[in-house]
Structure 1
């Protein structure tokens, strides 16, 4: 993982975990221990699914740039399906409060997306290789004789 990839991941994970901790405290006050467990499970699901998606997308961008857009669309579809499978599996559970889980899942996902967007906008990632532009200019800099 390149340093800017790790930085982007860190910029998304930290606010999401902070949101999850806040949601766990609020859920514990409102719904008790099962609410706190639901908030922790929701936060963990967001961090795992979105973190894995970011890692796969960065790998694809580095190795197969021509597939980047298609992979992004496929990846988001798979993420939605994974969360849907989790929701269907645990829809009648008594292990955690499902409302606390749902609100935390929604909130943590929105925070992840906002933090990832902010991190990407603040990152100084070059989209043009300056070395190739200098080499091209040097090739064409002679007199046309």
Structure 2
């Protein structure tokens, strides 16, 4: 993992964890212990799905840069579907408060997406390699570079 990838992951995970703690506290007050557990599980599921998506997106960008934009769109749809399946699977559980789980999952996904957008806007990632452009200019005519 490159340093900018780790930085992006950290810039997304920390606000999501803070939002999860807030959701757990609010759910604990409003719905008791099961509400707090539901909020924690929802935050963990959302964080896991989004972190896995970020990892897949970075690997795709490195291996297949021409598929990056299409892969991003497919990835967001897949993340949405995985979240919907998890919500459907835990719909009737008695392990935790499902309403707190659903709201925490939604909140964590929204916070992660906002943090990821901010991280990409703040990142100073070059999309042109300046060394290769200068090397081409300085190479003698007819050289195979």
- State the TM bucket, normalised to the shorter chain: over 0.9
Which residue is 2:96 aligned to?
A: 96
| Residues 1:54 and 2:54 are matched in the alignment | yes
**TM-score under structure 1 length normalisation:** 0.92
- Structure 1 spans left out of the alignment, 5+ residues: none
Give the distance between the partners of 1:14 and 1:72, measured in 2 at CA: 22
- Structure 2 spans left out of the alignment, 5+ residues: none
Which residue is 1:15 aligned to?
A: 15
CA displacement, residues 11-65 of structure 1 (integer Å, 9 cap, x when unaligned)? 0000000000111011000000010011001100111000000000000000111
1:139 Cα shift? 3.3
Which residue is 2:82 aligned to?
A: 82
Which residue is 2:116 aligned to?
A: 116
Which residue is 2:130 aligned to?
A: 130
Give the distance between the partners of 1:125 and 1:140, measured in 2 at CA: 30
Runs of 4+ in 1 over 6 A off after TM superposition: none
| Residues 1:64 and 2:64 are matched in the alignment | yes
**TM-score under structure 2 length normalisation:** 0.92
